[in-house]
Structure 1
């Protein structure tokens, strides 16, 4: 074969892989919509797609990974050019709730189709690693929503607990719509979310372990940033060359993201890189839940009200390697401070993000 034709052959293989993946996703969406997650079968998905079982597993290593891929694929990316932030905090919470509640299944929907529309994860993560990751992702969701709500005055007020309550109420409404369709009024739920703003939650940020966090280690070495990765919040390529803090967090330590956010200096760029030993499932879970939340935020808030940090899924551990980590897992917690193209502080272990953010 002439040398000049090799790239064309590679391109053709890539196109074929993409067509196979699209066929599997379309077939899986039909199977899950008809039978639900528990009763869906990979063999039937392969038959629907006119592929072999092996072809399905070559793209998705498990039924759970395939289900999560279908849900991620269903997330829309609305045009935010005309998005306007509501005038006040209560209006923002109410608008967010209304957008979130649009996914609720209706009385006439089939149980399986309703779960898919709801993006329900009921019965999907029934193992301990999955449940731990889901809990941590939910903490991250609350942080992101809380930061968006903190764009309203007074700006020195933490609103993560308010975000937690809003998400709790919405999740409860979703669970009831899943198990008892037709119960409750979504408008009442949105109104209740609005009134949560009036609660005095005494919301402070004072984790008890922070006084015992060891200082970051002063270093001086070149910072060689990895290739750009998609920013899950801002729908653009994340950059890693600005001064600031880069925190590498395993899927079991996502709550530590707030330690970098709260302790950072004015003007710092905060980057949270999520790593996991299971990108096919846990990585997709992160992509799903963050994408789901950001989709709703984009529809109710202008970009200047979005959370002020970069969030990337480091599924190939490129950022982890650049900060000096040889191995990563769901318990990973490490951070570095970058300035003028060099790393000046680093830390690993519990409290690493806080230690680096406060490093002088």
Structure 2
């Protein structure tokens, strides 16, 4: 029998630890779970566990992210999308609510099924990241609900209300399973489309954002990237806008999408300086949402912006941003294989999106 390579052995160990951790969290819940028992279940040392995961929180997030990825992989694409916003929002809610635990489920298994974060995120950076991720999720849902119109702030607010309703139902079900009827909740979500919400103005800081800097730089587009929304490969050499956002700045995605021109290929590259925890949190939330979107919307109705995880900093480095962190905000506009504009700091995505698509003319 051929010997496993070091990478293969590490992947096997990681998978074994995840199975043991899932059993431990299901039986004891997050608060009472112990790394020592996970190591015993996996027939490994504590050191072997810690060599793959930084701690219990990282392990828990990894288990949830793995569950979300498996659910997304199993998701079947619909033959057609609901015809209008209300039914589409109701269909999304029904899919999302399938995770609600039943009365007979143990608390630990119910928390895993809900992919609950209760009692897990106890630091300010983690809470900030979750708030930013929530706004990003609402943007992606809004883009799916109205794919053929310009983005409206009122649609994003409607998506925020729907996600608040669903997350609130999950929080209640976590402590009192069976208290909410999923069908009633889905109907309530559907009716949110009938609420008149103001579009509101642009963010107050946008008038003060510096314009993108013109450039004529060769663009060595990284390869081997995956779009988290469709699952397809991503080529960053296409004309359009590439925006690198730290997890703590994901809410800036809305202003970039609103500023993009029709036909622009917009790619959001998600980065963090804490891949073990913040990175896994981002992967969990985005994977979870896109798994539900794939079951409701056809490929043609899925949000057009592409979302890429840049765990190893390849894209950020290609943009000249190394190292990237949770507060990174940098963007480029690409045209004809060249970077024709660069922007950094607050509002960078908006600045690059509003820059002339062709960039400065080459000298004769």
Give the TM interval when normalised to the shorter protein: over 0.9
Partner of residue 115, structure 2: 119
Match of 1:264 among 257, 260, 267: 260
Match of 1:129 among 125, 130, 138: 125
Q: Post-superposition shift, 1:267?
A: 1.4
Q: Retained in 2: the 8 A contact 1:228–1:240?
A: no
Q: Retained in 2: the 8 A contact 1:245–1:260?
A: no
The TM-score normalised by the length of structure 1 is 0.94
Structure 2 residues not aligned, in runs of 5+: 357-364
Q: Retained in 1: the 8 A contact 2:151–2:258?
A: no
Partner of residue 234, structure 1: 230
Helix, strand or coil for the counterpart of 1:122? coil
Alignment of 1:52 with 2:22, yes or no, is no
Following the alignment from structure 1 to structure 2, what is the Cα–Cα distance between the partners of residues 248 and 60?
Answer: 26
Helix, strand or coil for the counterpart of 1:335? strand
Alignment of 1:340 with 2:336, yes or no, is yes
Partner of residue 5, structure 1: none
Q: Post-superposition shift, 1:218?
A: 0.7
Partner of residue 6, structure 2: 13
Equivalent runs, 1:218-229 vs 2, <5 Å: 218-229=214-225
Q: Post-superposition shift, 1:157?
A: 4.1
Partner of residue 209, structure 1: 205
Equivalent runs, 1:210-359 vs 2, <5 Å: 210-359=206-355
1:283-336, CA deviations, whole angstroms, 9 ceiling, x for partnerless residues?
A: 111111011111111111111111101101111111111111132211111100
Over 3 Å counting, the alpha-carbon distance change for 1:327 and 1:156 in structure 2 is: closer
Alignment of 1:184 with 2:173, yes or no, is no
Partner of residue 143, structure 1: 139
Over 3 Å counting, the alpha-carbon distance change for 1:204 and 1:307 in structure 2 is: farther
Following the alignment from structure 1 to structure 2, what is the Cα–Cα distance between the partners of residues 327 and 157?
Answer: 34
Alignment of 1:74 with 2:67, yes or no, is yes
Partner of residue 359, structure 2: none
Question: In the comparison of the two structures, how many residue pairs are matched?
Answer: 351
Over 3 Å counting, the alpha-carbon distance change for 1:182 and 1:290 in structure 2 is: same
Q: Retained in 2: the 8 A contact 1:78–1:299?
A: no
Helix, strand or coil for the counterpart of 1:274? strand
Equivalent runs, 1:99-118 vs 2, <5 Å: 99-118=95-114
259-268 or 129-138, larger mean C-alpha shift: 259-268
Partner of residue 57, structure 2: 64
Over 3 Å counting, the alpha-carbon distance change for 1:234 and 1:156 in structure 2 is: closer
Structure 1 vs Structure 2 CA RMSD: 1.4
Q: Retained in 1: the 8 A contact 2:77–2:295?
A: no
Q: Retained in 2: the 8 A contact 1:61–1:280?
A: yes
The TM-score normalised by the length of structure 2 is 0.93
Partner of residue 35, structure 2: 42
Helix, strand or coil for the counterpart of 2:99? coil
Following the alignment from structure 1 to structure 2, what is the Cα–Cα distance between the partners of residues 18 and 156?
Answer: 42
Structure 1 residues not aligned, in runs of 5+: 1-7
Alignment of 1:25 with 2:18, yes or no, is yes
Following the alignment from structure 1 to structure 2, what is the Cα–Cα distance between the partners of residues 200 and 173?
Answer: 23
Helix, strand or coil for the counterpart of 1:184? coil
